[in-house]
Structure 1
Amino acid sequence: MYVGFLEFPNSAAWFERQLEECCLDIPRDVSVSEQAVLDPNAFQTYASLLLDNRVAERNGNPYEGTPLSGISNLGKLLEMVVRKLDERRGAVTVDVQDLQGKGKNKTPYDYVRIEVGKETRVEVKTGRLSWNESKQNWYVVFSDVKFEEHDQLLLGFYLPNKFDVYVHNGKRGPSKHGKRTGTTGGTVSFNGPRNEKDW
């Protein structure tokens, strides 16, 4: 499973159709923690989490007024959500610090997934929609990706009404930053169509 092409939705109706097709029966008004949706076969996604079924015009900021809009350190929270989704699939995950011992430098990956006869170093990155005024399109960037340091890269794509997790194939969207890539990592980015203001 991988992100072959990230298709940006262009209407609320599109979202509703996709959610109906890929999601398990979930009550629309339950809390975020109860809405984990696991369907690894839909849209080549690893997991999907329904956040908000109210898709509305939000004065140019699609995240304004959404359930997670006021949370500081949202990136870390969403990374923890990805790990919990991984564990719900039956995987055992181990903190990198637990493997390294106290006082060791943090590795570039976030945790190790342990399955029968196999350990996988997992790096998790999250991103959200941003508007490019000059190109007139929506885009998302996942930063500080250490391409050489993980076995699997999970990309958490935070939309105003849901959170999708993709397994990256290592090919689509990556870019490096010369000598700095070794220390700061590179990026993975996806661009929506030009002149399409409706996310």
Structure 2
Amino acid sequence: MSVDSAGPSSWLEVMLAKQFPQLWQAKFCLRPLATSFGCCRRQVLTLTVAQIPGSFEDENPSSITQTAYAEDPLFRLHCLRKGRVLQQVARQTLAEVFPSVPLTEPPRGLCANGSRRGNHTAEFDFRHGDRRVECKGTSMAFCSAHHRWFADWSGIKFKQAIFDDLFLVLHSPGWVDVVRHDGAAAVAEAGVRTAFVGQSVRVYAARGCSDAREARQVILRKLLTSSHACEQLATRRSDSGYIAEVVSQELGRESCRLSTKWYTGIPFAGCSPSSRGLRLQKLAFAIDQLCHPGCRFHTEVDSLEIVGALRQQRRGAHRGSADWWRGNVRVEFKSSSLSWDVHRRRWRAHFARVKFPSQVRPCTASFDELLLGLYTPLGLYLVQHAGVAGQSRAGRGTDTLGHSVMVYGPTDEKCPEAALVVVLAKLQQSGCKLLVFVKW
């Protein structure tokens, strides 16, 4: 199967030419690839692109958030890595403001099933004297839908009374602020997920304000208003000596070094996980259309369905039960990069929050077909999931939050290419089907 270099001829090719113009100009070809899965070999559709980086990234210019953080060294970190840095900033602040009060590690305690908690799953983050301290950090972000900046500290379990003091760390372009929260200001629920993931503290700047410095002042002013009892403890430059040192330590961790080594220069490597996931979903949607030229596609899945336990409302276009319709089939797409697990010492793929039929409602499924996008240094592997391959539960919240699909490579194999062979073989042996390989 090949694409005629003279130009698009079908409605599908016209669509691809419009959505991915440089991809079309690069004259990508679709050809069978003999891919090895142990002793089994099968033909896999392969897309080879001559100029992948410009093809996709030109379609997604830097957002207001990315532009504002362009010179901020802390913005290079995402998720857990940034969270660890911001927690260290909070601890250092408490050590400086209250030098006579000791900081100690929390007891590990027990899980709900009676097993002992892991080193990083304690009920709170650390002790400050006799006080149990929980620390939450976030980076201020710009919401394009509402045209305003906001800060959202999530996963705070107020109702479980497992901490005495809550410290919020706000990262904004060029600055890091530490605030002691009063337990009431700007607290928001998370619907039915609240029982499992906790509440959040969400503060918005003025609508229409795109200036990050002004937005930071508004957010802090709302938290510190006289009607609340929040207290600002410190303000630091995000490029200050202490933060630069902690960021350097984080970048020096084995998992970060391996990811940097293998993913540098790869398309979407500089994106946040959520931004990368949306771009890979867009790519997977286009590939699915290419593979099924006779089907009709649209992206609003069950958008008119009435949902909600406390307040009933329509799902809306961005909260569909699946990602798109292919004919009468609801397709869900989940993506994951290969990440290094420092404890198990092996590469893994982790596809999170997959809502398979639950134990409570076994006949209810939010999708008909699950596509997994494995984002690797070699390219994107699009896999059709089958059966229970890699499924694992997420504790009591599984029926609400969804399962995980986790697949591991061999232990102590630091080369992701070698680990990838094992990961793909495990998926294939479980009944999954490798559909397409997009080579970077």
Whether 2:340 is the aligned partner of 1:131: answer yes
* Deviation for aligned residue 1:69: 1.3
Q: Aligned match of 2:350 in 141, 147, 168?
A: 141
Q: Which residue of 1 aligns with 2:258?
A: 60
> Does residue 190 of the first structure (1) align with residue 399 of the second (2)?
no
Give the superposition deviation at 1:100. Answer: 2.9
1:120 aligned partner: 329
Alignment partner of 1:129: what SS?
A: strand
Shift of 1:39: 5.1
Cα distance per residue 1:131-154 (max 9 Å; x no partner):
012222110100010112211100
Would the aligned equivalents of 2:29 and 2:49 in 1 still touch at CA under 8 Å? no
Gaps of 5+ in 1: 1-22, 26-30
CA pair 97-108 structure 1, distance change in 2 beyond 3 A: closer
Which residue of structure 2 lines up, in the alignment, with residue 70 of structure 1?
270
Hey, what's the Cα distance between the residues in 2 that align with 1:87 and 1:178?
36
Higher normalized contact order (CA 8 Å, seq sep 6+, divided by chain length): 1
Indicate yes or no: 2:321 matched with 1:108: yes
Once the 2 structures are TM-superposed, how far is the Cα of residue 59 of structure 1 from its aligned partner? 5.3
Distance between the aligned counterparts of 2:265 and 2:31, measured in 1?
26
Aligned-pair Cα RMSD in Å: 3.5
C-alpha contact 1:174 1:189 (8 A) present in aligned 2: yes
Tell me the TM-score normalized by structure 2. Answer: 0.33
**Paired AA for residue 320 in structure 2:** T
Matched-pair contact (CA < 8 Å) for 2:284–2:382: yes
CA distance in 2, matches of 1:51, 1:160: 14
Q: Distance in 2 between matches of 1:85 and 1:175?
A: 28
Does the residue aligned with 1:60 lie in a helix, a strand or coil?
helix
Correspondence for 2:297: 93
What amino acid is the match of 1:146? Answer: K
Match of 1:165, SS state, is strand
Partner residue in 2 for 1:80: 282
CA contact (8 A) 1:157 1:164 kept: yes
- Identify the range of structure 1 (164-173 vs 33-42) with the bigger mean alpha-carbon deviation: 33-42
How far does residue 99 in structure 1 lie from its aligned partner after superposition? 5.6
List per-residue Cα deviations over 1:10-34 (Å, max 9, x = no partner): xxxxxxxxxxxxx979xxxxx5565
2:289 maps to a residue whose letter is E
CA contact (8 A) 2:303 2:320 kept: no
**How many residues end up aligned between the 2 structures?**
165
What does residue 166 of structure 1 align with? Answer: 383
Aligned residue identity for 2:314 = K
SS at match of 2:258: coil
Contact 1:113 1:120 in 2 (8 A): yes
Higher helix share: 2
- Greater Rg, structure 1 or structure 2? 2
Cα pair 1:52 1:161 within 8 Å, conserved:
no
| Residue matched to 1:8 | none
Shift of 1:67: 2.6
Contact 2:301 2:323 (C-alpha < 8 Å) held by counterparts: no
Gaps of 5+ in 2: 4-21, 37-41, 52-255, 306-312, 358-365, 417-440
Label 1:196 to 1:41 Cα distance change in 2 as closer, same or farther (>3 A): closer
Residues 110 and 123, structure 1, Cα contact 8 Å, conserved in 2: yes
SS of aligned partner of 2:283 = helix
Q: Percent identity?
A: 27
What is the alpha-carbon distance in structure 2 between the residues aligned to residue 160 and residue 51 of structure 1?
14
Amino acid at match of 1:163: L
Give the counterpart letter for 1:139 in structure 2: R
> Offset of 1:124 from its aligned partner?
0.3
Residues 128 and 158, structure 1, Cα contact 8 Å, conserved in 2: yes
Structure 2 counterpart of 1:60, one-letter code: L
After superposition, what is the alpha-carbon deviation per residue over 1:28-61, rounded to whole angstroms, capped at 9, x for unaligned?
xxx55654747599567875555789xxxx9522
Distance across 1 between alignment mates of 2:323 and 2:391 = 19
Q: What are the residue-to-residue correspondences of 1:10-89 with 2, within 5 Å? A: 35=28, 37=30, 48-50=46-48, 60-61=258-259, 62-72=262-272, 73-89=275-291
Change (3 A) 1:50 1:190: farther
